[in-house]
Chain A
Amino acid sequence: MAVFVIRRLMQSLIVLAATAALVFLGVFAIGDPGEMLIPPDATPAERAQVMAALGLDRPLPVQFVTFLANILQGDFGRSFVFDQPSIALILGRLPATLELAFVALAIALVLGLPLGLLAGLRPRTATDEAIMTGSILGFSLPNFWQGMMLIMIFAVWLGWLPSTGRGPRGTILGIETSLASWEGIRHLILPATNLALFKLALVIRLTRTGVRETMPLDFVKFARAKGLTERRIVLVHVMKTIMIPLVTVIGMELGSLIAFAVVTETIFAWPGIGKLLIDSIMRLDRPVVVAYLLVVVAMFITLNFLVDVLYSILDPRIRLGRA
């Protein structure tokens, strides 16, 4: 286990370094930051002075090393727009996105697992067909359209729920969250549902397929021959078996929920990192974009690692030491 952790950490560092290089080169290729920072009427001498002050006159490899060295010291550059360290901006917005993503994931699991089980245990019945049709809608209707429909139905027509923004926050167990008050929860319901719909469809399908593949196996029949109740067979024998593929996919999907909550956050004006990214791209606020990409990559690497560790707990046949 220790060997596995150390090796994975080394791999992660290599991936991070490679990403940093890609991001740096990508930003370099987009264009000359001088065009945006320096007024068009500046003289060539003034221009050269600014470029020298920003270090932009030095050769590319030197700039890259400086960039890496700064990152290692926790300096991701300052936002042009907010004039704050870009990493602080992102970390300041991250809790809102994490809250949205975890609530969405919880909705997807709490509804998806039972529905998938139900469909898988009663294949080709009306129940199964209804659930599967619903999940096709969840898959194929565009996310932004689902969001607009949610706003139209629940905020505009019925007037039950607010359509934009994050509600008041309170503290639960030292974490600042909207879940502390009913008003905060009301603000969370629509965006979280919107973000959850696609994942819900995915969880339903994965669970159903897993159940359908596991039920005919010999060990299920043997469990029946032992006289176990159907309840124990499904909840212990079948569920534990299908958790393995489910954990893999959900682990990766959680990353994408956080990284790409962009659409939902834009529609519902949710003050998270997705909305910050869109705003920064529009304003060409490069340090924020770079920091965002690096944070997202680091997050994916961490999630990947956690999934691997969870795997070894769920499936005893996996030996992490030899991975």
Chain B
Amino acid sequence: MTAPLLDVRDLRTQFGTGVRAVKAVDGVSFTVDRGEILGLVGESGSGKSITGFSILGLIEPPGRIEGGRILFMGEDLVGAPREALRRIRGKRIAMIFQDPMMTLNPVLTIGTQMVEAVLAHDAVPRRTAVERARDALGLVGIPSPDERLKAYPHQFSGGMRQRVAIAIALLHRPDLVIADEPTTALDVTIQSQILYEVRRLADAFGMALVWISHDLGVVAGLADRVAVMYAGRIVETGTVDDVLDRPAHPYTRGLMDALPATAVPGDRLRPIPGMAPLPTSRPDGCPFRTRCFAATDACRAEPVVTVAAGHEWRCHHPIREPAA
């Protein structure tokens, strides 16, 4: 078996220093293979977006990567020189952001913002860069791309802007795209179109995808594997079938039960009681124990990771024993 495309090991990203430091990402490990789609799922504040930004080296002070390794094609991105990171960003690893209304610069044309992205990595004539930008817009289904290159972001709808952002991400046919809740800010009908486009393009170009979302339903339809994050850690990882059909961690179970799509019609939804703990006041041991129906005194101790045939969880009281 070949080495994974992306191998994140014990990543720790925190904001501030000393006792008041906020450990947003607290020992996260996962891998992504070439062409694979990983769904990174969790509630707000679970550290999933910070994980995504950490991979691209886009954590800004007072935040910083405190420890761990991010191996991308065998090269450690943690502590890599700025220029080396810049060459990877947008070229080998691209990112799509959550809010398409905010990601494009309002005072520059779409064409300018696409052409500069081409020229940042490839020394090609300007005309070639414009052609590549135009082709990329056509690829994501934007009509009359030649004219649209001259338009400004405010002349596009939210869904169209997200298509532009995707087109920018695809300009260099990256090996890995990190998508940070790219459909959350969009209408439901637009969401499914964008999901379909991303899936189609990822397949067509053999791109690996890390799809960050709080929506298990979206991830179920899109991803090959799922990693569930809670309080800065991954609590369960596995294939979509394993994790969503046979969840081991009570938190994953809780997320499933809170989904309207999986509930029996007429029954009440069962939300997880309480709120996700603030990163400043996480319980010791298993951070989920204060909200968990299965919690016992044993949960005051740090839970270890159990691995069973590619399905991993971090819990003292998993819901089911691993199938033989």
Contacts and interface: CB of A to CB of B under 8 A. Distances in A.
Interface of A: 216-219, 221-229, 232, 236-237, 240-241, 244, 314-317
For the complex of A and B, list the 4 residue pairs with the smallest distance between their C-beta atoms, beginning with the closest. A227-B90, A218-B102, A227-B89, A226-B90
A316 B105 contact: no
Nearest to A219: B105
B107 A227 contact: no
A226 B103 contact: no
Given A226-B90, A232-B120, A236-B108, 12 more contacts: A218-B97, A222-B103, A223-B105, A224-B58, A225-B94, A228-B116, A228-B120, A229-B120, A240-B107, A241-B106, A316-B106, A316-B152
B104 A222 contact: yes
Nearest to A237: B105
Nearest to A225: B95
B214 interface: no
Contacts of A219: 102-106
B107 A229 contact: no
B104 A232 contact: no
7 contacts: A219-B103, A224-B58, A227-B87, A227-B120, A240-B107, A240-B108, A241-B105
B57 to A, nearest CB: 9
B89 A225 contact: yes
Q: Name the prevailing secondary structure of the A interface residues.
A: helix
Interface string B69-95: 000000000000000001111110011
Interface centre among B91, B94, B105, B121 (most CB of A within 10 A): B105
Interface of B: 56, 58, 60, 86-91, 94-95, 97, 99, 102-109, 116-117, 120-121, 152, 154, 165, 168
Contact of A224 (B89, B105, B106, B121): B89
Given A218-B102, A221-B58, A244-B107, A226 B116 contact: yes
Contacts of A216: 60
Nearest to A228: B120
Contacts of A226: 89-90, 94, 116-117, 120, 168
Contacts of A224: 58, 89
Contacts, number: 75
Contacts of B104: 219, 222
Given A232-B116, A240-B107, A316-B154, A225 B99 contact: no
A221 B58 CA distance: 7
B186 to A, nearest CB: 15
A217 B102 contact: yes
B200 to A, nearest CB: 22
Interface centre among B87, B94, B117 (most CB of A within 10 A): B117
Contacts of A316: 106-107, 109, 152, 154
A226 B58 CA distance: 11
A315 B106 CA distance: 8
B97 A314 contact: no
Contacts of A229: 86, 120
A217 B102 CA distance: 8
A224 B165 CA distance: 13
A211 to B, nearest CB: 14
A223 B91 CA distance: 13
A236 B108 CA distance: 9
B154 A317 contact: yes
Contacts of B56: 225
B101 to A, nearest CB: 9
A216 B102 CA distance: 11
Contacts of A225: 56, 58, 89-90, 94-95, 97
Given A221-B97, A226-B90, A314 B107 contact: yes
Contacts of B86: 227-229
Nearest to B103: A222
B103 A241 contact: no
Given A218-B103, A244-B107, A227 B95 contact: no
B253 to A, nearest CB: 34
Contacts of B168: 226
Nearest to A238: B105
A222 B167 CA distance: 13
B117 A227 contact: yes
Contacts of A218: 97, 99, 102-103
Contacts of A244: 107
A227 B58 contact: no
B89 A222 contact: no
